[in-house]
């Protein structure tokens, strides 16, 4: 666990964090899969996510950005949870849970009807985290733009 002396704060994206957003995501993509053209497009222009009505959250420890996730607007009053990453040195410290909790709160504030994600079953810890906060496995309604995905999940509010 991280020392309490340097707390992790969840903050909203600002343009000065564009390199961190890309760096964190490239780290996990290269470790487990490969960077696909859609990844490169999204990671090279995070401001478009904000402009299109989405949001990016970042986990900051001191001056260091150690995690991120994004809500991407999708068709039919839906949002995609995407680009969730925590740098390997800080995994297992609850940062992903805090980012995901923040993303769910941001989703709820939009009033949209559905939050979904596409992932891969090899990311066992991530799938478990998603399930623990209310995501359930669901049939994919359409083809995923990502070649690496084999799991589709939808958020269901916990009572």
What the block records as the tokens of 75 is 């068709």
pLDDT tens across the length of the chain (159 residues): 555 556 899 999 999 999 999 999 999 999 999 999 999 999 999 999 999 999 999 999 999 999 999 999 998 899 999 999 999 989 988 999 999 999 999 999 999 999 999 999 999 999 999 999 999 999 987 778 888 999 999 998 664
Q: Measure the CA–CA gap between 86 and 69, rounded to whole angstroms.
A: 9
**For the domain bounded by 8-115, which CATH number is listed?**
3.40.630.30
Q: Measure the CA–CA gap between 110 and 53, rounded to whole angstroms.
A: 9
Size (the chain), residues: 159
Which pTM value belongs to this model? 0.92
**Predicted pLDDT at 17:** 97
Using the CB atoms, write b or e for 60-86: b if 16+ within 10 Å.
bbeeebbbbbbbbebeeebbbbbbbbb
Task: Check if the beta carbon of residue 65 is closer than 8 Å to that of residue 83.
Answer: no
């Amino acid at each position: 666990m991280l020392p309490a002396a340097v707390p992790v704060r969840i903050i909203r994206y600002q343009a000065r964090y564009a390199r961190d957003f890309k760096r964190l995501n490239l780290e996990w993509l290269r470790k487990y899969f490969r960077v696909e053209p859609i990844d490169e497009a999204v990671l090279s222009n995070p401001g478009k996510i904000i402009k299109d009505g989405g949001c990016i959250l970042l986990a900051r420890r001191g001056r260091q950005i150690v995690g991120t996730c994004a809500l991407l607007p999708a068709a039919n009053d839906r949002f995609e949870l995407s680009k969730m990453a925590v740098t390997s040195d800080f995994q297992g410290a609850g940062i992903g849970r805090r980012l995901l909790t923040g993303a769910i709160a941001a989703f709820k504030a939009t009033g949209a009807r559905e939050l979904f994600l596409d992932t891969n079953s090899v990311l066992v810890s991530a799938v478990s985290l998603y399930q623990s906060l209310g995501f359930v496995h669901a049939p994919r309604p359409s083809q995923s733009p990502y070649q690496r995905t084999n799991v589709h999940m939808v958020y269901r509010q916990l009572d």
